[in-house]
Amino acid sequence: MPEIRISHPQVKAELQSPAVTEAAETRTTEVSAVRKFLMSRGNSSFSDRCFHVLMVLCALSIFGIVLFILMELMHTSSLAWNKFGISFFFKTYMDPNTGLPSYWDPVNGHFSAIPFVYGTLVSSLMALVLAVPLAIGVAIFLTEMCPGVLRGPLAFITELLAAIPSIVYGLWAVFILVPLLREHVNPALISTFGWTKLFGADNPTGLGYLSASVILAIMILPIISSLTREVMTAVPHSQREAVLALGATRWEMIRTGVLRNARIGIVGAVILGLGRALGETMAVTMVIGNSAEIHRSLLANGTSMSAVIANEFAEASGDLHRSALIEIGLALFIVTIIVNALARLLVWAVTRGAPARVH
């Protein structure tokens, strides 16, 4: 049987009128305004490369600045480093006339950083003891218990404490805090805990380690509280719901479902607050007493690493004196960088997978 083939006409082409075909061709060749702008600029690969190089230089400049500061501190402190070495931070000179230790004697060229390291550590650690419980309590209330209407204003007021200049804190401490401690708090501590020798001697001025610790605690409170809230917010809500579903109370939910999962970040927040306390200068200088001695009592006068630099650098009696002060600054610079880097690492370990949230 012969094969029969039937050719089908181009129905689609025939059905389209010339006007429709012309309109379709016009739409095909029409270029949007955005594309016209991009085509008029030409090739932007050179601009992209320049922008990339500029951003890389901006990022590397931070490392360059830190490296430059470190090299300058090492160079200007080389005189004291070559003479005293590492013993600068633990060696004690004994006065042959009095038999008492002489830590800082610019006249005879005896320099030892022991009282400054001791004062810095005592005031900073005492500040953590006072600030950490309060900061964590504020963070728990704002994150888990505070009504939504009050959460924003309270968080703003708490973080506003970090924006107050340290000199303002120092003035407030001199006129308000120090008289309050001298007249009311210190006598109560002496009568209650005097047997421990930590509050064994009264200081008529009211200055000392305790005053510096209280003002530092107020200054580092917003830092620890803000980071603790951020870490607690990063804990998934499923953790809270799972603990509550098992019949736990709110406190048990916060303790086991939130604080336990956020403990690494909270430790990082505390360490970051410690770094802030170690480097504080003006407020501590105004209330610590500025005495280059070591006392067991927390009510006695003392000094810190940053305070001695602020007090004596402008009036340094010689090159060795100035070099010794810069060596103290070098040690403080290195310790602060290490503490802050460790704190940021711990906070990042908890919040690295959490989305940003605004309260």
pLDDT band at 178 (very low <50, low <70, confident <90, very high): very high
pLDDT band at 56 (very low <50, low <70, confident <90, very high): very high
Q: Rounded to whole angstroms, how far apart are CA atoms 110 and 94?
A: 10
Residue that has been written with the tokens 């004994």 in this structure:
94
Distances (CA, A) of 146 to 154, 244, 316: 9, 18, 53
Backbone phi and psi for residue 102, each to the nearest 5 degrees, phi listed first: -120, 105
- Which of 6-10, 93-97, 218-222 is least confident? 6-10
Q: Rounded to whole angstroms, how far apart are CA atoms 266 and 274?
A: 12
Q: List strand residue ranges (DSSP E) for 10-109, in order.
A: 93-94, 101-102, 104-105
pLDDT of residue 195: 86
Instruction: Let me know how many helices (H) and strands (E) the chain has, helices first.
Output: 17, 4
Residue at 134: amino acid letter: L
CA angle, residues 322, 327, 333, in degrees to nearest 5: 125
Looking at the whole model, is its pTM more than 0.85?
no
> Of 85, 105, 101, 81, which is closest to residue 93 (Cα–Cα)?
101
pLDDT band at 249 (very low <50, low <70, confident <90, very high): confident
C-beta neighbour count of 123 within 10 angstroms:
30
Tokens of 89: 């931070």
pLDDT of residue 256: 87
Average pLDDT over every residue of 19-31: 54
Please state the three-class secondary structure of 108-131 as a single string: CCEECCHHHHHHHHHHHHHHHHHH
pLDDT of residue 42: 61
How many Å from the N-terminal Cα to the C-terminal Cα in the chain? 85
